[in-house]
Amino acid sequence: MRISKNVASLKPSGIRKFFELIIGRDDVISLGVGEPDFPVPWRIREEIIYSLEKGITSYTSNYGLYELREKISEYYKKFGVNCGVDNIVVTTGVSEAIDIAIRSILNFGESILIPEPCYVSYSPLTILAGGIALSYPTNPDFIPYYEDMIKIAERAERDGRKIKAIIINYPNNPTGVSYTKNTLEEIADFAVEKDLIVISDEIYAELSYSFKHISIAALEGMFERTIILNGFSKAYAMTGLRVGYVIAPEDLINAMLKIHQYCMLCAPVISQVGAIEALRSEDELDEMREEYIRRRNYIVKKLRNVLDVRKPDGAFYIFPSIKNTGLSSEEFAKKLLFEKNVAVVPGNAFGESGEGYIRCAYAVNMDKLKEAVGRIVEFVENL
Amino acid sequence: MDKKAKDILKLLENNARLSYEEIAEMLGISEKEVEEVVKKAEENGIILKYKTLVNWERAGEEPVYAVIDVRVTLTREKNYDDIAKRIAKYPEVHAVRLISGDYDFQVVVKGKSLKDVSFFVAEKISTIPEVLTTVTHFVLRTYKEEGVLLFKEEDDRRLAITP
């Protein structure tokens, strides 16, 4: 076979499959989009245009622009982390950050614990790094509890497996659940007890509604074993500009930098310039956060009339259970698309434990949201 | 004013047609609370009026707007407020603002034609005894009004489903 066994073993993406169904359909209202509907703030776009005019088009240092790293180090204080410029590497979006974080620590055959449902790329990237993705369901409240994790870890140890790290993502895609300080402490205790590295994907940190986001690296003794992943896609809508970063202790940073310098060299320079401008002001963030909260309140209230919905703490997703309809996630999503022209993502795209749920993103304006929610309610009532 | 009241006013400022029910759902409060705040704001003159922003050009109409800079002289008997009120009472006058800089007032006048507006300024504003000079700027095109862009915004280029 020409294709590597590792690659061939990866399952096709559930999202990709669903995307094909939508192509060619007109007037679909999509609640399937995992990116903000707010445009990139104009000041950031202006700065990028100006940088092109000035001819800023060359490579940057492998680490990323010094000014950007200074600003990130300043910025992360708000989440409780004091780190130096040398603890930061700017990446081509968080996607690359996940990849180099995993590859920098994993030996062949080692495992990474992945609480599910979760973002789609953690398992595949673990497998591509030659590791084992040890995922486990966090249903029904989607919180990784100390006792559950210890049980899983001890079973794995009995099977002779070595767990190297745990990947967490909060506020979470797809569930919208975020972790309080208590939950973070449980995860930290578990990580310390089992001597694990925590890969903490905090891309939705700015979209935390129920309580203030704190980084797990801010807990005592945790910076030394945490790789923070974050970027500019969700807070500043810079999705296609592909710019993110990792924050980690120096030995891990140096390891990730080795991979980054060979596979990426540096993040796109104009995106880095835009990111510097992004961090100059947080004026847009409050307004945006408030709009998301209004939409969340609205969609939760309306959908609770027909489905079991947990009110999420952050991000722009709700993850209602559709078990009362008797349909599978995929059946529900397909039927909804074909009958009502509303697109949502079947929950099983985010791991087996997402079966019985759908992910609805409220990253659409209020008018569209109202229309879509109305159609979903009608759809369920007529099932 | 508390945050809840401010949130309600901000929503209404952007869309006056929202129902109490919709506002209550978005803010996670009761309909009754929304109604109380709105009623009180109406009584206190915090909410002045509910109106619709119309793009008249799109409707085939061509109203003429002019921005008029007005310089005045003050006397013991007539201060800024007195003069502004005299100007503001004309229905043709869309807005009156006291401004800093070379001129004292900026007056926005709406009329049916260039002539209409010009004569209004010459006959009604310039003739006020305290008015020293006026400069009339006719509006040729409006790109943004009340925070709303009057040109087509960018299309939504996002893919229908993304992870």
Q: Do B158 and A37 touch (CB under 8 A)?
A: yes
In chain B, CATH 1.10.10 covers 3-43
Distance from CA of A203 to the nearest CA of B (A): 13
d(CA A274, CA A295): 28
For the sheet with B64-72, list strands across it. B93-98, B105-111, B64-72, B131-138
d(CA A91, CA A87): 13
Q: Is it the case that residue A162 has pLDDT exceeding 90? A: yes
Model pLDDT, residue A355 = 97
Q: Is it the case that residue A130 has pLDDT exceeding 90? A: yes
**3 state DSSP class of A367:** helix
For residue B65, the surrounding DSSP H or E stretch is: strand B64-72
CA-nearest residue to A14 within chain B is B163
- How open is the CA angle A68-A73-A75, to the nearest 5 degrees? 90
Chain B residues touching A18 at Cβ < 8 A: 161
d(CA A358, CA A211): 25
- Among the partner-chain residues A290, A294, A343, the one whose CB lies closest to the CB of B160 is A343
In whole numbers, what is the pLDDT of chain A averaged over residues? 96
Which has the closest alpha carbon to B24: A170, A297, A317, A172?
Answer: A297
Model pLDDT, residue A12 = 84
Q: Is it the case that residue A29 has pLDDT exceeding 90? A: yes
Q: Does B160 touch chain A (CB under 8 A)?
A: yes
Q: How far is CA A250 from the centre of its chain?
A: 24
Q: Do B162 and A35 touch (CB under 8 A)?
A: yes
Distance from CA of B7 to the nearest CA of A (A): 9
Model pLDDT, residue B38 = 97
Secondary structure E strands in chain A: 29-30, 88-91, 111-116, 132-137, 163-169, 197-201, 226-231, 244-247, 317-318, 342-343, 345-346, 358-361
**3 state DSSP class of A4:** coil
Model pLDDT, residue B71 = 97
Residues within 8 A of A (CB atoms), B 22-51 only: 22, 25-28
Model pLDDT, residue A290 = 94
In chain B, CATH 3.30.70.920 covers 64-145
Tens-place pLDDT, residues A4-20: 999 999 988 888 888 88
Please state the pTM of the whole predicted model. 0.91
Q: Is it the case that residue A21 has pLDDT exceeding 90? A: no
Class of domain B64-145 as given by CATH = alpha beta
Q: What letter does residue A39 receive in the DSSP assignment? A: P
Q: Is it the case that residue A45 has pLDDT exceeding 90? A: yes
Q: Do B160 and A295 touch (CB under 8 A)?
A: no
CATH number of the B3-43 domain = 1.10.10
Q: Does B141 touch chain A (CB under 8 A)?
A: no
Q: Is it the case that residue B152 has pLDDT exceeding 90? A: no
pLDDT confidence tier of residue A265, bands split at 50, 70 and 90: very high
pLDDT confidence tier of residue A42, bands split at 50, 70 and 90: very high
Q: A349, A322 in Cβ contact below 8 A?
A: no
Enumerate residues 6+ apart whose C-beta is below 8 A from A341: A25, A27, A28, A29, A375
Tens-place pLDDT, residues B102-116: 999 999 999 999 999
Q: A176, A315 in Cβ contact below 8 A?
A: yes
Model pLDDT, residue A26 = 84
Average pLDDT for A93-116: 98
Higher pLDDT, A310 or B163: A310
pLDDT confidence tier of residue A72, bands split at 50, 70 and 90: very high
Q: Which domains does chain A have, with CATH numbers?
A: 5-40+283-381 (3.90.1150.10), 56-278 (3.40.640.10)
Model pLDDT, residue A223 = 98
Q: Is it the case that residue A368 has pLDDT exceeding 90? A: yes
Model pLDDT, residue B160 = 86
Tens-place pLDDT, residues B58-77: 899 989 999 999 999 999 99
Length of chain A as a residue count: 383
Average pLDDT for A123-144: 96
In whole numbers, what is the pLDDT of chain B averaged over residues? 94
Distance from CA of B130 to the nearest CA of A (A): 43
Q: Is it the case that residue A27 has pLDDT exceeding 90? A: no
Model pLDDT, residue A17 = 82
Model pLDDT, residue B156 = 83
Model pLDDT, residue A256 = 98
Average pLDDT for A120-133: 97
User: ipTM of this model?
Assistant: 0.79
Higher pLDDT, A109 or B1: A109
Q: Does B161 touch chain A (CB under 8 A)?
A: yes
Model pLDDT, residue B125 = 96
Average pLDDT for A40-44: 96
Model pLDDT, residue B78 = 93
Model pLDDT, residue A18 = 84
Q: Is it the case that residue B157 has pLDDT exceeding 90? A: no
In this structure, of A72-86, A244-258, B136-150, the range with the lowest mean pLDDT score is: B136-150
Q: Does B58 touch chain A (CB under 8 A)?
A: no
Q: Is it the case that residue A275 has pLDDT exceeding 90? A: yes
